[in-house]
Each structure stands twice: as C-alpha cells, then as structure tokens.
Amino acid sequence: MIKFSNILLGLLVIITLSLQAQDSLQQKISLKGITLDALRIKTPKRVIPFAISHQSFKAPQLGLQQNSLQDYLSTVPGLYAQNTQNFAQDLRLSIRGFGARSGFGIRGIQLIVDGLPETTPDGQGQLDNLPLGLIQSLTVLRGPASSFYGNASGGVIQINTLKDFEENFVRLRLQGGSYSARNLAATVGLKNNKTKAIFYQNHSESKGYRNHSQYKQQVFNARVWHDISDSSQIRWQFNYTHSPYAHDAGGINITMVEENRKQARTQNESFQTYETVDHLKTGLQWEKQINNKLRWDNYVFYAHRDFVGRLPFGFGGFVDLKRDYYGLGSALEYQPKNNHRIQVRFSLADQKDHRQRFQNLNGSPGENTLNQNELFFNTALSFLDEMKWSFGLLRLGMRYDLQRLGTQREIDEVQLNSFNPSIGFTFTQWGKHVMFVSYSTSFETPTLNELSANPSGNVGFNPNLSPSKAHNFEWGWRYTTPENTIEATIYAINTQNEILPYELATFPDRDFYRNTGSTTRRGIELFWKYQKGRWEWLVSYNYAHLKFDNYTLGDQNLSGKYLPGVPRQQFNAALQYNFSEGWGSTFHTQYSGNLYADDANQTLVDDYLLTNFRFWKSYDNLSFFGGINNLLDTAYFDNIRINAFGKRYYEPAPLRNFYLGMSINF
C-alpha cells in the first residue's frame, strides 16, 4: 500500500517555503477576482463562505483528450470519478460520498450546463450529451446545497461552454488513439454587433479496452446570444445527442480479472448488453437589468430522452424508457444598498417517464413484464440574502420544495416537502488570508428508476425506500496572491436514510436500493495552485472518514463500517510548462486510496497511482497534440460495482494507452 502521510507533510513544507520566499516588502496588490454565480448571487470566489472550486480552460483544449468530464475535474479535492471507460453506464461522480451509490449516471449531485438544469427533477443526471470540446469553465460546490438547488444537491457541478470570442472562426479537431478510438469535431463561431452564435458537432467512437465495450456517439450543440438592448439579453441553446450503441462488458470477480482483465462477463455477451440513446434538449433564457437596483432573470427548457437498454438477465432485462421533462424559473434580485443584495426565486419542474420492461431474448424484446407511467413534479420557492461589511460577508438562504411523485396506480402517489436553510460567514480582515464558516443542508429523494426497482417483483414503487437528509458544517481558509491560491477546508456531515445499491440472487445484475440508517462524514480538503511565468502547478489532497453510524442489515450490525465506493485518500498533482515556440507539456499524477466494495467491508480494493503525460505544439493556425495515459502501466479498476452479487465488483481499466491529434483554425 502506498503511504501518503509523508507526501502530505512534504506538500505542506513546500507551500510554507514558497510563501516565505515571497518578497516581504511586497506592496498590497489589487487582485483580479473571479466572480461566480454557482450560489445564485454573483459573488467573488475569494469571499464565498462555502467550499467551492473553479477551473477555466483555453478554447483549443490541446492538453485534454476530451474523452470524459473526469479530464476537467481531476484536481478538485473531495471529488471522486469512476466509469470513465464504460459509456453504457456513463461517468460516475461522488462528492464527499454523495453520488457513490449510482449504478449508472450521476445521483445526489446537481448538474447545471450553461445555466440550465441537466439533472432531472427526481435527481438523475447523465453526461452523455455534454459537448466536452466546448467547455470553457466549470465550478464545483463541494457540499450539500439544497437551499440553492433543491433535490439531489449533495454537491453541484456548474459547466459553462465557450462564449468568449472576438472574431468569427472555424476550428476542426481530428484525434485517434488506442482501441481504434476516433474523435472528430467541428466548431463554428459567428459574431456581429448584437448577436453571436456557437455551433458544435462531434463524432466519437471506440472498440473499447475490454471485450464487448465498443461505443459510437454524435453530439450537436448550438448556442445563440442576442442583445435586445444595453440592459437586456436573450440566450437560446439546443443540444441533440445520438448514440446508436454503447456496449457494457459488465462486472467480473477477481478470479476472472486475474485470468484475463479484458474479458467481458459471459452473460453480458450472450444477452447483448448495450444501450441506445437519443437525447434532445432546448432552452431559452432572458435577463433584464431593470435599473441599478433591480435585476430579473428567467429561463424555460424542455428535454426528451429515448433510451433502450439491454441488461444481462432474461426477466425484465430489455428496457424501453421514454422521458419528457421541462422546467421554468424566475429570479428577482434587489440591491437596496451597495452592501446588501436580496434574491427571491421561483422554479417549477415536471418529469414524466414511460417505463417498459420486456424479456431479454439475447438482445431482442420478448414478453412485456412491466408497463408503467411514472411522474415527478416539483415546485420551489427560495430566498437568499447577502450582506457585506468592511470585515466580512454574510450569506443567508432558505428554500422550500414540494414534490409529488407516483405511478398510474393511485396507491403509489406520494407527496414530499422539504425545507432547507443555509448560513455562511467569511471574515476578510486579514489581508490575503480569509476564513469562512458555514452550515447547509440537502435532501435527496430516490429517483424514479430506483423506486421502480421493486425487490418484491411487483409493479409499482418500492414502498420501503425513503428520502435521505444531510447536515453539513464547514470551516475554511483561503490565501491568495498573484502567484498562489491556497485553500483548506474541514467538514463534518451527518446524514439520515442513506441510499445504497445492492443485488439479489433472484435478479442478478439488476440494482435494487435500500436505506441504511445514518452516516457520519468527516474530512479535510487541500488545494494549491501556483503560477509563475511559463509554469503552472496544481495540487489537491483530501482525506475522507465516511462511516455508517447506525446501520443494521438483517442480523448484521454494520455500524462503524466505512461507506463503500469512496477512497479515504486522494492526491492529484499536475505540472504544466509552456516552452518557447509553441511547445507545451503536462504531467499529471493521481493517487487513489483503497476503498471497500461492499457495505460489510469484507472486500478491500487496493489503492493505485496513475501518471499521464500530454504534449502539444502550436503554429499560427495549426496545432498538434498527443498524450500517454497510464504511463507506468498500472493495473487498476475503472469502476467498482457496489454490493454486486457473486463479488462481481470489478471493471478493469486500460493499461498504457495513447492518443494523437491535430487542430486546425480558420
């Protein structure tokens, strides 16, 4: 096992020496602050009284493979990503343990793309329709935030795509790599005095590292901005994703891993497990600065998802899901004084799923086993108050949510309501040093997919599954100079009715869900960014002590056991240097500590260390780039399937692999 206590101690020593080496006679410098709206009211990042991370990216993205959102999130402390290679299950993300339960896609974390929700009202999120090549910046709120975003907000990831450009342009990107991977993309930007637009088309495919893991996908994305006047702007966006196939090699046990880590589970091949997805989303936003004290923002969106999935079992193993969901919201922000801002926000969201299950006859649909209409309707009202003084900033928030969910059977209809407050204070009187303390809450309902996974085998929802609730306390410190950004956060979270997945022998490979009493989560998160000249150095570390506090499963008392699927330690370091004449390179090292694969903590998955190397060379309108992933050829796992029956926890990750590409600008 790799010991990282010495590395952490060394990191703290390096930071200290770096700070002491700065000129003690340096005059106060007015720093250019980053203003973020992830907490609804736009506030400089430096004084936000909650744990938050922000990263921006240059438009060509020459140092990124654009294979997974994980490429963009790797240095965010407290965030853990899995499933970067299984495109049938999508990327799995967890923040301080929230989201770890997800069998596919994202749970417990709110996703916002260009100001519009990507997470459905019931708390499901997916990233297969995300235009990775357009990402300009992202912000991660690393803790419960339901007073800002409502259901399934154990953390928030806000993604903003390219909007800052001065001239018309056309950019083509061609990339190839290991496992017959191809990524072709075209981006067009148009601009005149009052209107600008971005159009993006991407095609990606690969045979995959493991057997039965090939995929193909196309993403089209369009955004248009128009200035109605100096004080009013309208924005429109449209996204269409078509994925004809994404195969699932499945989880295997450790014996099969040792025999051949590339092999797929036999049942996954015989039942032809893969998914087909067509996803459409469009939205309209309007913002109006009514006067110097009053601002009004509005949005409306609609999305449709057509999903067909084949699971590795017969009864109900062929899934046909059609989903329609829409939402609208309005926010009125009033500034009675220069140091005081108030915001009132109303939102509404409606989700309707038509879920059908059939016998899976080797990839073809057989007899219908489930035909069910499901709904999830949410309305919410929130209030935010921000006050500034010479010595600090105070943020108060509260939100009330009312949910109605059920199926066509009246017996399944449930009404839930939740009230979530938050308070945070930042002390700013110590110059370059600021300190903050905060309290926030979150709630999380089971998703419609989780509720419809009824272990009794009957139609309707699982009546024994309840929402979970979390209370979050944070203390943080930030230090900012023109060259250094250093952050440290200590948190304590208590949850009730934690939701976790499990499998049954009678329904192998199908996920069911149960509540697990309560958990306690304690941790520390560190981040350091150093920039000087051609150098950039990013380091993050987190230690997470996540345990069941009160959990009895059958005749087993699992209190005191660790939460599965989350490593206790993570360390990331990225060193970038821009040489002369357009050359650049990045070394990225990632350490993930060991974790448990099951609630009972009977199976411990080993820790691992990865190193990736990337390089690029730019000319006036032409650039070449490439990279080597897993440079040290480490054998590790891309995904761990929590509580999988038969100990089929493991999805092996690729060994050493590479990619090469070129980008052309017109």
Domain-embedded: residue 25:
no
Lowest mean pLDDT, pick from 154-158, 273-277, 532-536: 532-536
Is the Cβ–Cβ distance between 427 and 396 less than 8 Å? no
Over residues 69-100, the pLDDT tens digits come to: 999 998 999 999 998 888 888 888 999 999 88
Lowest mean pLDDT, pick from 226-230, 452-456, 586-590: 452-456
Q: What is the mean pLDDT of residues 385-406?
A: 94
Cβ burial, residue 636 (10 Å; 0-12/13-18/19+)? middle
pLDDT tops 80 at residue 5: no
Over residues 595-630, the pLDDT tens digits come to: 999 999 999 999 999 999 999 999 989 999 999 999
In terms of pLDDT, which residue wins out, 185 or 644? 185
Give dist(CA 280, CA 240) in Å, integer.
5
- For the chain, give the mean pLDDT: 90
Among the listed residues 356, 351, 276, the one whose alpha carbon sits nearest the alpha carbon of residue 320: 356
Q: Which helix or strand (DSSP H or E) is residue 599 part of?
A: none
In terms of pLDDT, which residue wins out, 328 or 582? 328
Give dist(CA 67, CA 199) in Å, integer.
20
DSSP symbols for 154-194: SSEEEEEE----SS-EEEEEEEEEGGGEEEEEEEEEEE-SS
Radius of gyration of the chain (CA): 24
Domain-embedded: residue 160:
yes
What lies within 8 Å, CB to CB, of 546 at 6+ separation is: 96, 97, 519, 520, 521, 522, 523, 562, 563, 566, 568
Range of the domain at 644: 48-665
Lowest mean pLDDT, pick from 288-292, 502-506, 528-532, 555-559: 502-506
Lowest mean pLDDT, pick from 26-40, 42-56, 439-453: 26-40
Domain-embedded: residue 6:
no
pLDDT of residue 84: 87
Q: What is the mean pLDDT of residues 634-658?
A: 94
Q: How many domains does the chain have?
A: 1
pLDDT tops 70 at residue 186: yes
pLDDT of residue 332: 97
Lowest mean pLDDT, pick from 88-92, 208-212, 236-240, 357-361: 88-92
Confidence of residue 410 (pLDDT cuts 50, 70, 90): low
Among the listed residues 12, 229, 77, 146, the one whose alpha carbon sits nearest the alpha carbon of residue 543: 77
Share of the chain above pLDDT 90, in %: 72
Give dist(CA 136, CA 61) in Å, integer.
9
Cα separation values, 266 from 249, 262, 273, 583, Å:
9, 12, 11, 46
Give dist(CA 386, CA 384) in Å, integer.
7
- Would you call 104 helix, strand, or coil by DSSP? coil
Cβ burial, residue 50 (10 Å; 0-12/13-18/19+)? buried
pLDDT of residue 523: 96
Domain-embedded: residue 13:
no
299 dihedral zone (left: phi>0; alpha: psi -120 to 50; beta): beta
pLDDT tops 70 at residue 276: yes
pLDDT of residue 24: 35
Residue in the block written with tokens 């339960």: 101
Phi and psi, residue 123, nearest 5°: 105, 15
pLDDT tops 70 at residue 6: no
Confidence of residue 509 (pLDDT cuts 50, 70, 90): low
Residue 326 in tokens:
């829409």
pLDDT tops 60 at residue 403: yes
Give the angle 61-62-65 at the CA atoms, nearest 5°: 80
Domain-embedded: residue 222:
yes
- Would you call 645 helix, strand, or coil by DSSP? helix
Domain-embedded: residue 31:
no
Q: Which helix or strand (DSSP H or E) is residue 416 part of?
A: strand 414-430
pLDDT of residue 38: 87
pLDDT of residue 614: 96
pLDDT of residue 424: 97
Domain-embedded: residue 24:
no
pLDDT of residue 465: 82
Domain-embedded: residue 389:
yes
Over residues 537-560, the pLDDT tens digits come to: 999 999 999 999 888 877 889 899
pLDDT of residue 656: 97
Over residues 416-455, the pLDDT tens digits come to: 899 999 999 999 999 899 999 999 999 988 888 888 877 7
Cβ burial, residue 289 (10 Å; 0-12/13-18/19+)? middle
Global pTM value = 0.92
Which CATH number belongs to the domain containing residue 604 in this structure? 2.40.170.20
Residue 405: half-sphere exposure toward Cβ, Cα within 13 Å: 29
pLDDT of residue 411: 64
